[in-house]
Amino acid sequence: MSKFVLVPIVVILMGFVVVSLVKGVAAFLQSTRHDLEQGDGADGGPSAMQLRQNEMMFARIKYQALAVIVVAILLAAGRSG
């Protein structure tokens, strides 16, 4: 019974990982393009695109960790049953 619930959860989490990865790569490309066009920044702080890139990286890590936990639960349930 739990397998029928956990497998779709893993698939959904994998989708979130892919979406976060694509958004992070898009932010990276926009950041790189912006940095090339603007040159060295005078403020020295991270740009909005760099902050977005970090946000997407942490989201991807979070979803991957959740997916690993769900897979571990599935494996544990498979061995006991």
Q: What is the pLDDT of residue 5?
A: 86
23: left (phi over 0), alpha (psi -120 to 50) or beta: alpha
Rounded Cα gap, residues 11 and 25, in angstroms: 21
42: left (phi over 0), alpha (psi -120 to 50) or beta: alpha
Chain Cα centroid distance, residue 25: 10
pLDDT in single tens digits along all 81 residues of the chain: 577 888 899 999 999 999 999 998 888 888 777 676 766 555 667 778 888 888 999 999 999 999 999 999 988 888 876
Tokens of 9: 């959860």
pLDDT computed for residue 50 by the predictor: 82
What pLDDT does residue 31 have? Answer: 79
Tell me which residue range forms the domain holding 38.
2-80
Number of domains into which the chain is organized? 1
